[in-house]
Chains A and B, each alone.
Chain A
Amino acid sequence: MKQLFFIAGMFIASLTMAQSKYEAAMTKGLQMYKDAKTVADFQETSSYFERIGDAEKNQWLPFYYATSALYVTGWMDPKADKDKIAGECSVILTKADALDKNADLYCMHQQLDVMQMVVDPQTRWQTFGAAASKALADAKRADSTNPRIYYLEGRTVLGTPEAFGGGKAKAKPLFEKSIALFATYKLPSPLHPNWGKDEAEKALAQCQ
């Protein structure tokens, strides 16, 4: 009987070790993300997370970060091919979508839609603009307390001309709501997305 417990214990130990291997790899990845400066750094970070995701098979977070790191490169160079980058991001994000549906993934979709919309806003707002607002509606349905939703919504409103129902005055309450939600927001794990508070505060300052 003792032996059985011992074997079981070993088994659990090896499991938790595997778990911590994932956590260690993710923590390393998040550090890489933090330290990334160049487009190549972000691309490498993205591939790194994608490898973790592909190996783990049932974790959506690595794919989320793989998408996010690649997404950033779309804004780094004004000449970047946003359509191509968004396309590559979508391929990775689809793998995350297959594993989970949550507010942060919907937010990521919104970010990709917006990136594609800005390529040609006059003809694309009807398609990508609508897709982006649908993504945020989905995100609210999944978790209306996720503060990033209101930050992203605020960004869209801020970028919309006042004549079209946008502008600082309309964006301000959204950033305020986002910041208020950050105060009570509980991070599910240290590996979960934890960005947005500083961005929301900066954006709110712009609205003053």
Chain B
Amino acid sequence: MKKVYLLLFLSLVSGLVSAQVRVSGKIKDNKGHILPGASITIKDSYDGGTTDSSGNFSFKTYEKGERTIIAKNIGYKPVEQKITIDKEPITLSFNLKEEINELSAVTVTAGSFSAGDKQRGAVLSSIDVATTAGANADITAALKTLPGTQQIGEQEGLFVRGGAGYETKQYIDGTLVNNPYYSSVPDIAQRGRFSPFLFKGTVFSTGGYSALYGQALSSVLLLESIDLPEKSEIDASISPLLAGLGTQQLAKNKKSSWGINYNYTNVALYFGIVKQTPDYFTMPQFHSGDANFRFKTKKGGMVKYYTTFSYNQLGLRRQDIDSLNLKDAFSLYNHNWYNNLSWREYLGRGWKMNLGSSFSTNKDNFSQQLQDANNQLKQYGSSTFWMQAKGFTNVGRQDLAQAKAVFEKKLAGISAIRFGTEYWHAYNTNAYNDTLRKLTENYNAVFAESDVYLTNDLAAKLGVRFENSSLIQKADIAPRVSLAYKTGKDAQVSAAYGIFYQKPEYQQLFYTTNVGFTKATHYILSYQKMSITQIFRVEAYYKKYDDLIKTIPVSYNYYSYNNTGSGYAQGIELFWRDKKTFKNFDYWFSYSYVDTRRDYMNYTARLQPNFAATHTASLVTKRFFTDIKTGFSLTYSFATGRPYYNFMVNNSGKYYLADQGTTKPYNSLGFSAYYVPSAGKTNAKTNTVVFASITNVLGANNVYGYNYSYSGLYKQAIVPPAQRFYFIGVFLSWGVDRTDDAINNNL
């Protein structure tokens, strides 16, 4: 028995007296680059070391026998190796393989700008949209400070890279929004219907976008709604132009929420003070109400429902272009109801599902009549048909129901495949005077896309989309490819290629459905260097247009259309945002150059379109003064003149170019100020924001184009209804911060 104790004792002591053994070596990555700061450990012991600046490590150990040694470095897969430690020094070398993970991996950014509060690589946040001078919290207006967009003031929409406004489509939670803007009024751009605060993320793609989206030749704006609000609150807004009241209620368990809002806008008081060029006989009024309901599912998924209803009306009189004694009186009544229901769910085993559905109905009732000096109706017969055509009534209705399903499976690392299908059912009617036209469209698409990460530095997105339209009885296949390669810390080169199809607009389809898809092919190359506080990007593109719609005049009020148009756009764009260089000062600069020609609609040849300025630049600046809790923003936008044309029909029923010119350059300086008394208090119960803004501070007389008289002898400049737009308002929110409740409940 004594021997046993002795043995035990010896074995304990031997650990202390035996000699140390040196373990040394080198750690590299699998490309042979040395890895400084990597760690090496003998498993279940304290012994180990870290590599020096040349990748070498060296340490001593008392451990003996067979042991496992682990080499690891952040961002790399750890490597284990069995070694036997005896008396001799040990030399080891390790090659660690890079681990592909979302934080360090490159993301494909060619053609797209990410905006959002929580998104990685976000260019603009919703606060940016609200505070950018000149934008007045309109998403589209704020996006116009990014490269690739045109400064268009005579109609709504995003005119991207030589594309017309209808070539940009908006999606909310994956499904198309049929009427993203308030209904058109001739020569006056309307605002978007959706507040920037509804969304947590926005991707504005100016080209080369994913196969998940279709039916947009130039660009898509992808809006992702907020999941759950951070807290319950009551919101109110008050201004001489509008008043609103709403609430968001977050359940105590933070698993569900609901909200309702109502807003009313009436510009009568404002127009009484600030003179407008048109004579408004029906003051613009907007009623809008929305409601939402959202809840988290058991598996961490999300169900969201959002609905909004709006009604608006206006009536305005302007000088008639053919007769000095007459006026055109235009009036509009619009009803719009939009619904969106989406369900995002994790299905397990790396599967994710996104279901989206939406239904919208929009009714525009607009009419125009000629009026004399006493505002009395004036009618003309068919002998002066161009005058007769100025009096009309038009009732249009657009219904759209959609369903979309996308399934995603995570593969090795962060590679993924995505596939799905979507279906649109559209019903459009239009009654122009006594002529009623109806169209029913069943559109469906299937698509598949895969994100392939070859390393952390090289990623590819490969996609294909198949689309079919029952209305024009055409199908197409659209391939999409994009690549990104990381060239250094925060820097990358991306490239994208894709084919994009879009069905002709309903105004044309009402006349003929014997047309095909219009087509655009995008080629994009971009370089980007981006840190949290600075973004630099330069992008070059070439876009080829095929099968654009051409107009064939049949009679003075009847047209036919075919797909014989074509065109191209090419250009270079710069973007620079910097929050770092000057303390508390944030600015961004955009510059776009576009060379574009197209032969479409009534154009007589390939011409520079009237919505494309060759050079466009914007500078946005923001500074928040903490001591007075007030922020100021200045936005300056510049665009070179845009061409304008007068196409007339000759005796043989063909268009000819009767006159053309170029507008003078566009200039606008916007200013806004916002006072936030609760700034900096994370637990403030009442949040107040006082917001004031002026557009076109310098009073530049901007001209967006010209309208021509029937004779073609007289032209009239298209100008904004007023030189400047002023806004002042107070936004209040009373929050019930549930974090306090959570703490109190646990005490």
Contacts and interface: CB of A to CB of B under 8 A. Distances in A.
B682 interface: yes
A104 B584 CA distance: 33
Nearest to A53: B46
B324 interface: no
A125 B682 contact: yes
B41 A43 contact: no
Interface string B31-53: 00000010101011111111011
B713 interface: no
24 contacts: A6-B5, A10-B9, A17-B12, A40-B50, A43-B37, A43-B50, A47-B49, A51-B45, A51-B46, A51-B47, A51-B48, A55-B43, A55-B46, A119-B532, A122-B579, A122-B584, A122-B624, A127-B118, A133-B682, A133-B683, A134-B739, A161-B626, A164-B681, A166-B680
Contacts of A25: 46
Given A50-B39, A130-B739, A160-B680, 9 more contacts: A17-B12, A47-B39, A47-B48, A83-B532, A130-B682, A134-B739, A141-B747, A161-B680, A164-B679
Given A52-B46, A122-B579, A129-B682, A164 B5 contact: no
A163 B125 contact: no
Interface string B108-142: 00000000011000000101000000000000000
A125 B747 CA distance: 26
Nearest to B680: A164
Interface string B725-747: 00000000000000100010011
Nearest to B9: A10
A10 B5 contact: yes
Contacts of B1: 3
A168 to B, nearest CB: 15
Nearest to B36: A40
Nearest to B743: A137
Given A43-B37, A120-B579, A141-B743, A10 B45 contact: no
A27 interface: no
B63 to A, nearest CB: 11
B631 to A, nearest CB: 10
Contacts of A161: 626-627, 680
Size class of the contact patch on chain B: 35 or more
B103 A10 contact: no
B251 interface: no
Interface string B614-631: 000000000010111100
Interface in B644-688: 679-683
B320 to A, nearest CB: 51
A162 B679 CA distance: 11
A80 to B, nearest CB: 13
A87 interface: yes
B74 interface: yes
Interface string A9-40: 01000100100000001000000000000001
Nearest to A127: B118
B533 interface: yes
Nearest to B122: A123
A15 B629 CA distance: 62
A150 B487 CA distance: 45
A165 interface: yes
Contacts of A143: none
Given A40-B53, A134-B739, A163 B46 contact: no
Nearest to A138: B743
Contact of B125 (A47, A123, A129): A123
Contacts of A52: 46
Contacts of A166: 680
A40 B743 contact: no
Contacts of B322: none
A126 interface: yes
Contact of B50 (A44, A54, A125, A129): A44
Interface string B678-717: 0111110000000000000000000000000000000000
B627 A10 contact: no
Interface of B: 1, 5, 8-9, 12, 37, 39, 41, 43-50, 52-53, 74, 103, 117-118, 125, 127, 532-533, 579, 584, 586, 624, 626-629, 679-683, 739, 743, 746-747
Nearest to A137: B743
A100 interface: no
A160 B103 CA distance: 30
B513 to A, nearest CB: 49
Nearest to A49: B46
Contacts of B117: 123
A163 B50 contact: no
Contacts of A164: 626, 629, 679-681
A3 B4 CA distance: 11
B583 to A, nearest CB: 10
A162 B747 CA distance: 31
A162 B41 contact: no
Contacts of A44: 49-50
B5 A126 contact: no
A162 B53 CA distance: 44
B67 to A, nearest CB: 12
Contacts of A3: 1
A87 B48 CA distance: 23
Which residue of B74, B682, B683 has the most chain A CB atoms within 10 A of its CB atom?
Answer: B682
A44 B59 CA distance: 12
Nearest to A120: B532
B99 to A, nearest CB: 12
A106 B311 CA distance: 52
Contacts of B680: 125, 160-161, 163-166
A141 B746 contact: yes
Contact of B8 (A10, A87, A91, A122): A10
Contacts of A17: 12
Contacts of B743: 137, 141
Contact of A163 (B53, B629, B683): B629
Contacts of B118: 127
Nearest to A134: B739
- The list of the 4 closest CB pairs from A to B, nearest first, reads A164-B680, A161-B626, A47-B39, A47-B50
A31 to B, nearest CB: 14
A137 B533 CA distance: 30
A44 B533 CA distance: 30
Contacts of A51: 39, 41, 45-48
Which residue of B8, B9, B50 has the most chain A CB atoms within 10 A of its CB atom?
Answer: B50
Given A141-B746, A163-B627, A40 B52 contact: yes
Nearest to B682: A130
B5 A120 contact: no
A130 B683 CA distance: 9
Given A51-B47, A125-B680, A164-B681, A120 B533 contact: yes
Nearest to B16: A17
A152 to B, nearest CB: 16
A52 B9 CA distance: 25
Contacts of B682: 125-126, 129-130, 133
Contacts of A133: 682-683
A164 B679 CA distance: 6
Nearest to A45: B50
A47 B628 CA distance: 46
A78 B739 CA distance: 34
Interface string A87-114: 1100100000000000000000000000
Contacts of A163: 626-629, 679-680
Which residue of A44, A51, A54 has the most chain B CB atoms within 10 A of its CB atom?
Answer: A51
A43 B48 CA distance: 13
A41 to B, nearest CB: 10
A47 B746 CA distance: 36
B41 A54 contact: yes
Interface string A172-208: 0000000000000000000000000000000000000
Contacts of B44: 54-55
B100 to A, nearest CB: 16
Given A130-B682, A161-B627, A14 B12 contact: yes
